[in-house]
C-alpha cells in the first residue's frame, strides 16, 4: 500500500489508494481569513507572488488548516509572461491585464532561459515550502499550458470572449504556433527550476480549452502540451505531470493518449461513466466536484462526494474540484468533504 510513500505520489504512480488523497485547486485563497490577512501585507498581487515569505505562508495555510495531501505552489500562470517582458497587472474587478502582443516577435525581448531565471523568487518559495511541509504532503509545482498563457498575451486580458485568440488559431496558425513555442520553452525551464527547488509533481493548467473545434483543439491544446511534456522529459525531469484541459469533453481520451501526461485533471462537467469507459484503466485521474456545490453544501454535496468516491474506487484517484475554490466557500463545507473522504 501507500505507507512507504506519499499518498498522492502513490496514486500518480498508478496505485489505487483508499481513501484517496485530496487537495483542492485554489485551496490557498480568499475563502480563508488567514489568506486575506497575508494578502493585505503585499502592495499588489504580483508583489504577493514574488515575495517568498508571503507566498510560502499562503501555500502552507490550507495544509495547516485542512491537512491536505497536496500543497500547490502559490503563484500565478501569468508570471511567465511578466518574466518574458510583457507588462502584467491585476486590477480589482478587472482581473489580469496583459500587454497585448501583435506578433511572435513581441515575445522575443527576453530569452526563454533568461525569463525563467527572472522567476528566482518563485523557486525560493518552492524551497521554503518544501522545508515547511509535513513529510506526508506532496508539493505540486505548476504552470499554465501554452494555449492558455498565449491566449492572455493575444487578448490582453482574461475577461474576453477569446475571439481574437481563436481567430489567430484559424487565420494565423503559424504565428500562434510560434508564440506557443516561445512560451512553451520558457515554461519548460520554469518548471524544471521548480523541480530542482523541490516540487515533486507538476500540473499544467489549460483553463481555456473549452469549446474549441476538434481540429483546433489538436493544434493548440494537444500538440503544444505534447511538445512541452517531451521537452521536460528531455531536460531530465522525471516527476509526474498532471494535465488539466478544462472543458476538453470528448477530446479527453485523445489528449491523454497523445500528450504523455501522467494523470489528467477532470473539470466539473466530466462524467464518471465517460471517464471510466474512455480512459485507460490504470490512468490516474483528479477531480471533479463542482465548486458551486461545495458552496451550497447539504445532502446533495454529501451524495455527490460519495458518488465520486464510488465511481473511482478501483482507479488511481486524487479527490479534487472541477475548478477552483471560490471566495464565498464556507470553511465548514470543505471540512465536511474532507470528513466524508477520510471517514466515510
Single out the catalytic residue among 35, 50, 76, 315. Answer: 76
**pLDDT per 10-residue tile (average), the chain, 344 residues:** 74 97 97 97 96 98 98 98 97 89 97 98 98 98 98 92 96 98 98 98 97 98 98 98 98 98 98 98 97 98 98 97 98 98 94
Q: Range of 155's domain?
A: 2-343
39 is catalytic: yes
Single out the catalytic residue among 30, 65, 231, 326. Answer: 30
- What are the φ/ψ torsions at residue 22 (nearest 5 degrees)? -140, 140
Single out the catalytic residue among 39, 172, 304, 326. Answer: 39
Please state, in angstroms and rounded to a whole number, the distance separating the CA atoms of residues 11 and 230: 22
Of all helices (H) and strands (E), which one includes residue 187? helix 173-197
Asked whether 65 and 100 are in contact (CB, 8 A), the reply is no
pTM of the entire predicted model? 0.96
Asked whether 203 and 244 are in contact (CB, 8 A), the reply is yes
Task: Name which of 69, 28, 65, 60 is nearest 317 in CA terms.
Answer: 69
* Total tally of structural domains belonging to the chain: 1
Please state, in angstroms and rounded to a whole number, the distance separating the CA atoms of residues 337 and 343: 10
Asked whether 323 and 25 are in contact (CB, 8 A), the reply is yes
161 is catalytic: no
214 is catalytic: no
Convert the pLDDT of each residue in 164-211 to its tens digit. 999 999 999 999 999 999 999 999 999 999 999 999 999 999 999 999
For 20, 122, 149, 191, 205, the CA distances from 77, given in Å and listed in that order, are 27, 12, 7, 12, 8
- CATH code where residue 81 lies: 3.20.20.210
69 is catalytic: no
- What pLDDT was estimated at residue 1? 42
Of all helices (H) and strands (E), which one includes residue 111? none
Single out the catalytic residue among 35, 66, 152, 255. Answer: 152
- What pLDDT was estimated at residue 93? 78
Single out the catalytic residue among 26, 118, 128, 315. Answer: 26
SS3 98: strand
76 is catalytic: yes
Amino acid at each position: 500500500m501507500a505507507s512507504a510513500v506519499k499518498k498522492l505520489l502513490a496514486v500518480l504512480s498508478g496505485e489505487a489508494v483508499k481513501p484517496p488523497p485530496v487537495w483542492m485547486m485554489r485551496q490557498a485563497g480568499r475563502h480563508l481569513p488567514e489568506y486575506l490577512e497575508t494578502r493585505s501585507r503585499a502592495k499588489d498581487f504580483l508583489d504577493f507572488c514574488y515575495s517568498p515569505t508571503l507566498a510560502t505562508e499562503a501555500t502552507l495555510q490550507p495544509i495547516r488548516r485542512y491537512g491536505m495531501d497536496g500543497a500547490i505552489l502559490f503563484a500565478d500562470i501569468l508570471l511567465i509572461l511578466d518574466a518574458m517582458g510583457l507588462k502584467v497587472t491585476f486590477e480589482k474587478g478587472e482581473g489580469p491585464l496583459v500587454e497585448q502582443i501583435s506578433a511572435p516577435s513581441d515575445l522575443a525581448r527576453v530569452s526563454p532561459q533568461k525569463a525563467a531565471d527572472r522567476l528566482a523568487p518563485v523557486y525560493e518559495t518552492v524551497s521554503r515550502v518544501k522545508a515547511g511541509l509535513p513529510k506526508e504532503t506532496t508539493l505540486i509545482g505548476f504552470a499554465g499550458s501554452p494555449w492558455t498563457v498565449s491566449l492572455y498575451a493575444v487578448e490582453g486580458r482574461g475577461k474576453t470572449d477569446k475571439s481574437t485568440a481563436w481567430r489567430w488559431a484559424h487565420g494565423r496558425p503559424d504565428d500562434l504556433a510560434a508564440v506557443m513555442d516561445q512560451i512553451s520553452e520558457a515554461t519548460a525551464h520554469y518548471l524544471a527550476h521548480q523541480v530542482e527547488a523541490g516540487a515533486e509533481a507538476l500540473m499544467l493548467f489549460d483553463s481555456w480549452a473549452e469549446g474549441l473545434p476538434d481540429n483546433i483543439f489538436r493544434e493548440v491544446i494537444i500538440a503544444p502540451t505534447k511538445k512541452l511534456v517531451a521537452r521536460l522529459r528531455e531536460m531530465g525531469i522525471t516527476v509526474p505531470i498532471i494535465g488539466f484541459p478544462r472543458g476538453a469533453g470528448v477530446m479527453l481520451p485523445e489528449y491523454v493518449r497523445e500528450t504523455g501526461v501522467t494523470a489528467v485533471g477532470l473539470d466539473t462537467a466530466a462524467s464518471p461513466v465517460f471517464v471510466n469507459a474512455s480512459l485507460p484503466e490504470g490512468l490516474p485521474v483528479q477531480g471533479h466536484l463542482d465548486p458551486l456545490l461545495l458552496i451550497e453544501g447539504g445532502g446533495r454535496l454529501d451524495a455527490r462526494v460519495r458518488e465520486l468516491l464510488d465511481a473511482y474506487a478501483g482507479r488511481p484517484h486524487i479527490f479534487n474540484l472541477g475548478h477552483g475554490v471560490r471566495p464565498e466557500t464556507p470553511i465548514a463545507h470543505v471540512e465536511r468533504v474532507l470528513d466524508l473522504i477520510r471517514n466515510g
